[in-house]
Structure 1
Amino acid sequence: MSFDTTHSNFLDQAKISHEDWDKSGLNWENLVSIASSYIELQPTLISTAEQISSRIRTFEGVHSVRWRIKDTMHLLKKIVRKNLEEKPQEKWTTINSNNYLSCATDLIGVRALHLFKDECIIIDESIRNTWNICEPVTIYVRNGESTHSELLERGGELKVHAFGYRSIHYIIKSQPEKIELTTEIQVRTIFQEGWSEIDHRVKYPDYSDNPEIKLFLRVFNGLAGSADEMGSFVKNLTKFLSDSEQITTNAFSERQAAFEERDQAIAQIASYIEELKELRIKDRHSQTLITNMQESMNKLKESQKRTATQTLAEKYSTVSTRAKQSSEITIRAHGVNSPWEIESFSKSLDMLGKALSNGTVIGRTQKGHND
Structure 2
Amino acid sequence: MMFESEEDRQHFLVKYNISQDRFRESLLSWETLREIADDFEVHRNEHLNTVQAYALAIQQCSSVHSLSFGVKDTEHLVEKIIRKNGKYVAEGNAITVNNYKEYITDLMGLRILLLFKEDWREVHTFLSEKYSKRFVEDPFAYIRKGDDRHLYDGIIKIKEERPYRSVHYVIRHEDGAGLEIQVRTLFEEAWSEVDHKIRYPYNIGNEMMNGYLSIMNRAAGMADEMGTFINSYIKGFEEMSTNGMICDNDVYNYIIDRISKCEDEELKADIIEKIRRAEDFQKLNLMSDTLKNMLKKI
TM (normalized to structure 2)?
0.75
AA partner of residue 123 (structure 1): V
Does the C-alpha gap of structure 1 residues 196 and 92 become closer, same or farther in structure 2, counting only changes over 3 Å? farther
Deviation at 1:81, TM superposition (A): 2.5
Partner SS for 1:248: coil
The answer for the alignment partner of 2:176 in structure 1 is: 180
Matches within 5 A, 1:40-119: 40-83=42-85, 88-90=87-89, 94-119=94-119
Q: Report the count of equivalent residues.
A: 240
Aligned residues of 1:114 and 1:188 also touching (Cα < 8 A): yes
1:42-83 deviation line (CA, Å, top 9, x unaligned):
011100110011111111210001012110111111122235
Counterpart residue number, 1:341:
none
User: Contact 1:92 / 1:103 at 8 angstroms: preserved in 2?
Assistant: no
The residue that corresponds to 1:159 in the other structure is 159
CA distance in 2, matches of 1:24, 1:186: 28
Alignment partner, residue 225 of structure 2: 229
Output the amino acid matched with 1:78. K
1:21 to 14, 20, 23: 23
Query: Are 2:196 and 1:200 aligned?
Result: yes
- Which runs of no fewer than 5 residues in structure 1 stay unpaired? 251-371
| Larger mean Cα displacement after TM superposition, 209-218 or 88-97 | 88-97
- Alignment of 1:216 onto 2:212: yes
CA distance in 1, matches of 2:127, 2:21: 43
Task: Report the Cα distance in structure 1 between the residues aligned to 2:190 and 2:208, rounded to whole angstroms.
Answer: 19
Give the drift of 1:148. Answer: 3.8
State the partner residue of 1:240: 236
C-alpha contact (below 8 Å) 2:64/2:114 kept by paired residues: yes
Question: In the alignment, is the contact (CA less than 8 A) between 1:118 and 1:148 conserved in 2?
Answer: no
Q: Displacement of 1:39 after TM fit?
A: 0.7
**1:218 shift after superposition:** 0.7
- 2:142–2:162: 8 Å Cα contact kept in structure 1? no
Q: Note if 1:127 corresponds to 2:121.
A: no
Partner of 1:170: 169
Identity %: 32
Query: In structure 2, do the counterparts of structure 1 residues 81 and 191 end up closer, same or farther at CA, with 3 Å as the change threshold?
Result: same
Larger radius of gyration: 1
Task: For 2:98, give the aligned amino acid.
Answer: N
The 8 Å contact of residues 102 and 182 in structure 1, kept in 2 or not, is answered as yes
- Residue identity matched to 1:167: S
RMSD: 2.1
Contact 1:83 1:92 in 2 (8 A): no
Aligned-pair CA distance for 1:26: 2.3
Q: Answer whether contact 1:115 1:189 (CA < 8 A) is retained.
A: yes
For the Cα contact (< 8 Å) 1:68–1:108, is it kept in 2?
yes
Residue 162 (structure 1) shift: 3.9
More helix by share: 1
Any conservation in 1 of the 2:102–2:176 contact (CA below 8 Å)? no
The 3-state SS of whatever aligns with 2:113 is strand
1:146 to 145, 148, 171: 148
Match 2:34 to one of 27, 32, 35? 32
Which amino acid in the other structure matches residue 172 of structure 2? K
Structure 2: stretches of 5+ with no match in the other structure: 247-298
- Residue type at the aligned position of 1:186: Q
Cα distance, 1:89–1:159 mapped onto 2, change above 3 Å: farther
Higher relative contact order at CA 8 Å, sep ≥6: structure 1 or structure 2? Answer: 2
Q: What's the offset of the Cα at 1:16?
A: 2.2
Distance 2:162 2:169 in 1: 20
List per-residue Cα deviations over 1:330-358 (Å, max 9, x = no partner). xxxxxxxxxxxxxxxxxxxxxxxxxxxxx
How far is 1:29 from its partner? 1.1
C-alpha distance in 1, partners of 2:138/2:153? 11
Cα deviation per residue 1:135-165 (whole Å; 9 max; x = unaligned)? 111210001223345x4434x21100342x1
Q: Matched residue of 1:130: which SS?
A: helix
Aligned partner letter, 1:43:
N
